[in-house]
């Protein structure tokens, strides 16, 4: 029997995958080749939106129907649209501006660069979300050494430290996860409510103390694993590309600041956590505020940026929840991230109303009370996102966050 291959249709994922890549290429090439105020830029922005809409339609209806990977693909596609808006129309990043900035910084005339170099720079800039080593670099970029902001390690030292971070992060992930069939895991999972009202306003009846203990242990493990997974992924890639000489160490600074800096919610999310999408959400948030006629320096503009940033984060992590199998209606990602915005607003209001009392406290007391506030708020809000995820992972029979922390047995909990 002759197998006919001619005329066979492409696999269903091929078209949205190509369109997803085109979102990046259209943006990167336009940034590399078009002047800052070229009419090609708004045309490219429209094309990027059309491509993203097509990706969403194909991903949901055809290519990834019923497949979990569709959620994060669509979510990240729209994040890259916002990133494109910033590069093309808001920051108006261009190769000419990059060259001028480098010449000013080094006080040397930059040599002529080939077309290939411009294209590589443009595509790289598309994925350089923090705009590292460019005129548009974000503020609050974590330094290599808090005591010396100008310090940059040698290539060998950078690779060695990155390897150590990867090892420690992977060990942490292994220690704070547990198999679904481990003794006491099913009983622990059964204690976790998934209804939003019940999670945020738990009752105080019989067994409440034990439920709160189990909930808190799950939450701590979840936080450790999230931090470790981000660190392992970033450090692994950074170690590889720096070791191979594709990038310099200065181009791959730490992914996040120290958790010791997180004595307020604002500092937690603006310093201690990763800032990958900071430029994207801040620039687009400012654009929304300016469209509404709100000055960018006003408090209202700040709140718009805040709400927009956490809404985007919620949508991205909603896509991640879908990838883990959590049904759309059960995901608590949007609740969690929007609650962070509310928490920061409450925090700002408290600091303003009680500013005289706060100013009289010693720095040590302010930090101690701040740490307690941040921990308490996260222990309260994280379960609304975490619990549906834990239930889904347990139903799937895969490793999940341990309610026993890094201890193997759960008898001490239950």
Q: Scan for tokens 């002529």, then name that residue.
A: 112
Point out the residues of the chain with pLDDT beneath 50: 1
| Pairwise CA distance, residues 141 & 150, whole Å | 12
- Residues 16, 73 contacting (CB under 8 angstroms): yes
- pLDDT for the residue 9: 72
Handedness of CA 232, 317, 307, 131 (dihedral sign): positive
Note the pLDDT tens digit of each residue in 351-396.
Answer: 999 999 989 999 999 999 999 999 999 999 999 999 999 999 999 9
Q: How wide is the angle at C-alpha 405 spanned by C-alphas 403 and 406, nearest 5°?
A: 135
- Residues 153, 144 contacting (CB under 8 angstroms): yes
- Residues 125, 134 contacting (CB under 8 angstroms): yes
DSSP code, position 401: E
- Residues 264, 347 contacting (CB under 8 angstroms): yes
Print the SS3 string covering 171-229.
Answer: HHHHHCEECCCCCCHHHHHHCCCCCHHHHHCCCCCCCHHHHHHHHHHHHHHHHHHHHHH
- Give the global pTM: 0.90
* Structure tokens, 279: 């430029």
- Residues 230, 274 contacting (CB under 8 angstroms): yes
Taking Cα atoms as reference points, which of 130, 129, 123 lies closest to residue 21? 123
Please name the helix (run of DSSP H) or strand (run of DSSP E) that holds residue 160, with its range, or none. helix 155-175
Note the pLDDT tens digit of each residue in 180-211.
Answer: 888 889 999 999 999 999 999 987 877 888 99
C-beta atoms surrounding 258 within 10 Å: 11
Q: Give burial (CB, 10 Å; 0-12/13-18/19+) of 337.
A: buried
SS3 140: coil
- pLDDT for the residue 414: 56
For the range 52-55, what are the long-range contacts, defined as Cβ-Cβ under 8 Å and sequence gap of 24 or more?
A: 52/19, 52/23, 52/77, 52/78, 52/80, 52/81, 54/16, 54/19, 55/16, 55/19, 55/20, 55/23
Kind of pairing, strands 400-401 and 177-178?
Answer: antiparallel
DSSP code, position 88: I
């Amino acid at each position: 029997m002759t197998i006919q291959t001619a005329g066979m249709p492409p696999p269903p994922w091929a078209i949205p995958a190509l369109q997803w890549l085109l979102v990046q290429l259209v943006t990167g090439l336009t940034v590399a080749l078009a002047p800052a105020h070229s009419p090609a830029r708004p045309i490219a922005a429209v094309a990027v939106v059309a491509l993203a809409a097509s990706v969403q339609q194909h991903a949901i209806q055809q290519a990834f129907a019923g497949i979990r990977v569709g959620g994060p693909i669509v979510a990240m596609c729209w994040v890259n649209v916002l990133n494109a808006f910033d590069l093309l129309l808001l920051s108006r990043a261009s190769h000419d501006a990059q060259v001028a900035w480098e010449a000013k910084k080094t006080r040397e005339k930059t040599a002529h660069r080939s077309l290939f170099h411009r294209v590589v720079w443009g595509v790289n800039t598309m994925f350089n979300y923090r705009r590292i080593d460019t005129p548009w670099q974000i503020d609050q970029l974590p330094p290599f050494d808090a005591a010396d902001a100008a310090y940059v390690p040698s290539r060998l030292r950078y690779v060695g430290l990155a390897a150590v971070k990867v090892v420690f992060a992977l060990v942490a992930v292994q220690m704070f996860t547990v198999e679904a069939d481990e003794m006491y895991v099913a009983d622990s999972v059964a204690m976790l409510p998934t209804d939003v009202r019940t999670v945020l306003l738990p009752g105080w009846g019989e067994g409440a103390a034990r439920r709160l203990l189990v909930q808190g242990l799950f939450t701590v493990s979840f936080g450790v694993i999230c931090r470790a997974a981000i660190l392992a992924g970033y450090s692994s890639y950074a170690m590889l590309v720096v070791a191979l000489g594709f990038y310099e160490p200065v181009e791959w600074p730490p992914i996040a600041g120290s958790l010791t800096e997180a004595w307020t919610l604002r500092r937690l999310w603006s310093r201690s956590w990763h800032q990958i999408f900071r430029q994207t959400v801040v620039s687009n948030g400012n654009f929304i505020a300016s469209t509404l006629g709100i000055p960018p320096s006003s408090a209202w503009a700040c709140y718009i940026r805040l709400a927009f940033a956490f809404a985007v984060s919620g949508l991205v992590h909603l896509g991640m929840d879908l990838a883990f199998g959590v049904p759309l209606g059960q995901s608590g990602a949007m609740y969690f991230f929007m609650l962070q915005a509310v928490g920061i607003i409450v925090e700002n209001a408290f600091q303003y109303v009680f500013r005289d009392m706060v100013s009289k406290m010693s720095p040590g007391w302010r930090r101690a009370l701040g740490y307690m506030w941040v921990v308490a708020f996260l222990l309260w809000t994280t379960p609304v996102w975490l619990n549906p995820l834990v239930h889904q992972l347990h139903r799937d029979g895969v490793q999940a966050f341990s309610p026993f922390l890094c201890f193997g047995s759960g008898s001490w909990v239950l």
